């Protein structure tokens, strides 16, 4: 009898979970579907879910009008660049915070996080003027630097929570065995820390990819990433739902696919030490 109940329960849970999952996902699905419609079908009432003439026309239009490869490459360079530099700076910092904690560690960590609360817009004009004086307006370098700094606190914190979980006893045992600092890092710590670093990296790439304040305000054309690309489709002439959908799909597809593939790492990293 108990089995019957649990079986029925599983069915109910399955239906409920799938319904909610599909509801949450629906806006994205709808965007992708609309991107294959003609403009007229995109606003047809009643709307059609699958039964329409699928067309690639919108993608052609968007490709002809915008330099998608350029914006895509800019997004890749900016998000990857800022993430790698950020990791290079953050790994040693998080490392020493985790293994050689002092009284200030917690304060420094909290202070770093609080810098993330500063409203970007309050310092836009100063940053704009500095970039201009350095000749870095509309350059990827400026964006890489700024996004590195913006996301640094999150990187440090995530890495810190990871490193803290590494049992320190192992290190001591290794030292007893006469391992040098170099081999300590290379053969013992790195393998243990790598999953943490990987998931930090993934989260940070997503954050940088989607950052839409600095990337919009400090670029014109040459360094403009996909956030700027989508901005030019925000309300063009006349009917635009299908074109907007195509552009949106092109802007989010790369990161969505990457996110799905690396879901497991990402979820683990996302917990920010919240789960022990």
Partner 1 sequence: MSTQHSRSAARIMIAPATFLLLAWMLIPLCMTLYYSFRRYRLLTPDRQGWVGFRNYENFLTNPAFTSALINTLVLVLGVLIITVVLGILLAILLDQPFKGQGIVRILVIAPFFVMPTVSALVWKNMFMNPVNGLFAYAAKAVGLEPYDFLSQAPLMSIIGIVSWQWLPFATLILLTAIQSLDSEQMEAAEMDGASALNRFWFITLPHLSRAITVVILIQTIFLLSIFAEILVTTNGGPGTASTNLTYLVYAESLLNYDVGEGSAGGVVAIILANIVAIFLMRAIGKNLDA
Partner 2 sequence: MIIRRALLNTAAGIGLVAGITSAVSAEEITIATVNNGDMIRMQELSSQWEEATGNTIEWAVLEENALRQRVTTDIATGGGQYDVMTIGTYEVPIWGKQGWLMSLNDLPAEWDQADILPAIAGGLTVEGELYAAPFYGESSMVMYRTDLMEAAGLEMPEAPTWTFIREAAAEMTDRENEIYGICARGKAGWGENMAFLTAMSNSFGARWFDEEWNAQFDGEAWANTLNFYVDMMNESGPPGASSNGFNENLTLFQTGKCGMWIDATVAASFITNPNDSQVADSVGFALAPDNGLGPRGNWLWAWSLAVPTSTDAPDAAKSFVAWATSKEYTELVAENEGWANVPPGTRTSLYENPNYASVPFAKMTLDSINSADPNNPTVDPVPYTGVQFVAIPEFQGIATAVGQQFSAALAGTTSVEDALANAQELTTSEMQDAGYQD
Residue closer to partner 2 by CB (options 178, 238) is 238
What distances in angstroms separate CA 248 from CA 69, 93, 135, 138, 224, one per listed residue? 15, 37, 31, 23, 16
Q: Which is nearer to partner 2, 95 or 128 (CB)?
A: 128
Taking the least distance from each CB to partner 2, the nearer of 39 and 184 is 39
Is the four-CA dihedral 188, 194, 197, 199 of positive or negative sign? negative
85 or 231: whose CB is closer to partner 2? 231
Instruction: Say how many Å lie between the first and final Cα of the chain, rounded.
Output: 36
The region of 55-63, 65-73, 151-159, 186-194 touching partner 1 under the rule CB under 8 A is 151-159
69 belongs to the binding site for partner 2 (CB under 8 A): no
Is the four-CA dihedral 85, 204, 74, 235 of positive or negative sign?
negative
Q: Contact region for partner 2 (CB under 8 A) — 72-80, 155-163, 224-232, 252-260?
A: 224-232
Contact 108, 97 (CB under 8 A): yes
4 lies in the binding site for partner 1 (CB under 8 A): no
CB 148 within 8 A of CB 89: yes
Residue 90 binds to partner 1 (criterion: CB under 8 A): yes
- Answer for which of 234, 260, 275, 276 binds partner 2 (CB under 8 A) is 234
Q: Are 224 and 215 in contact (CB under 8 A)?
A: yes
Question: What x/- string results for residues 237 through 276 when contact with partner 1 is judged by CB under 8 A?
Answer: ----x--xx--x--xx--xx--xx--x--xxx-xxxxxxx
Answer yes or no whether residue 230 interacts with partner 1 by CB under 8 A.
yes
Give DSSP secondary structure letters for 3-17: HHHHHHHHHHHHHHH
Site string for partner 1, 27-56 (x = CB under 8 A): xx-xx--x--------x-xxx---------
């Amino acid at each position: 009898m108990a089995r019957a109940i649990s079986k029925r329960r599983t069915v109910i849970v399955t239906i409920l979970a799938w319904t909610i999952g599909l509801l949450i996902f629906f806006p994205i699905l709808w965007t992708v579907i609309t991107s294959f419609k003609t403009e007229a079908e995109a606003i047809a009432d009643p709307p059609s879910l699958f039964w329409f003439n699928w067309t690639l026309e919108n993608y052609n239009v968007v490709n002809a009008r915008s330099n998608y490869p350029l914006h895509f490459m800019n997004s890749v360079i900016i998000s990857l660049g800022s993430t790698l530099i950020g990791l290079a700076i953050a790994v040693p910092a998080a490392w020493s915070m985790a293994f050689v904690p002092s009284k200030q560690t917690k304060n420094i960590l909290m202070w770093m996080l609080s810098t993330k609360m500063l409203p970007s817009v309050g310092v836009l004009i100063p940053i704009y003027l500095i970039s201009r004086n350095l000749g870095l307006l509309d350059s990827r370098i400026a964006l890489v630097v700024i996004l590195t700094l913006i996301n640094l606190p999150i990187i440090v914190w995530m890495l810190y929570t990871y490193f803290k979980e590494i049992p320190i006893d192992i290190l001591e045992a290794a030292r007893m065995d006469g391992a040098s600092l170099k081999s300590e890092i290379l053969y013992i710590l790195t393998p243990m820390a790598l999953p943490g670093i990987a998931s930090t990296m993934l989260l940070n790439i997503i954050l940088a990819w989607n950052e839409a304040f600095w990337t919009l305000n400090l670029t014109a054309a040459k360094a403009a990433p996909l956030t700027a690309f989508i901005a030019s489709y925000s309300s063009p002439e006349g009917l635009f739902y299908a074109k907007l959908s195509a552009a949106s799909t092109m802007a989010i597809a790369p990161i969505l696919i990457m996110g799905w593939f690396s879901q497991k790492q990402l979820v683990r990293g996302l917990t920010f030490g919240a789960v022990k």
